[in-house]
Amino acid sequence: MRAVVQRVTSASVVVDGQTVGSIGQGYMVLLGVATGDTEADLKYICDKIYNLRIFEDQDGRMNRCLSDVSGEILLISQFTLLGDVRHGRRPGFDGAMRPAEANAMYEAAVRYFKDNYGLEVQRGVFGADMKVQLVNDGPCTLLLDSTKIL
């Protein structure tokens, strides 16, 4: 499972001209689910996202987590995070989980944040053509991968 976490001052997602999710300060998270991902991968990614200490403290150091700043999460599914571009010019998506199973994992991530951290996660629409706007704070962007060793 892969996630791109961007610390934002605001973010929103629009589908068919309608805003379907928006947040103020917090994280805009793109989530890609890989073939073979399990509940353990989901738990790892969600816990890591929630507990990241990437908000500045009074000394200007990244030392505060999402709950310390009453931050929000906008979670957007994005299978293209699993795109393989090592060969040729067109990405291959064989590493991405099939849509029905990936959607179930995406929904499980939304529930995990609510059940374990009390967060009402704002979200995109799985499989839709989404227009995402954000103000990246810093900028600060991190790539998380539940299986990457390095």
The residue annotated as part of the active site, out of 9, 19, 80, 147, is 80
Name beta bridge partners: 142: 5
**What's the token pair of residue 60?**
């200007």
The residue annotated as part of the active site, out of 6, 55, 78, 113, is 78
What does the chain come to in residues? 150
Is 79 noted as a catalytic residue in this protein? yes
Is 9 noted as a catalytic residue in this protein? no
The residue annotated as part of the active site, out of 79, 122, 126, 133, is 79
**In sequence order, what are the residues at sequence separation of 6 or more whose Cβ sits closer than 8 angstroms to the Cβ of residue 148?**
none
CA–CA dist 74, 120 (Å, integer): 9
Is 18 noted as a catalytic residue in this protein? no
Residues noted as catalytic:
78-80
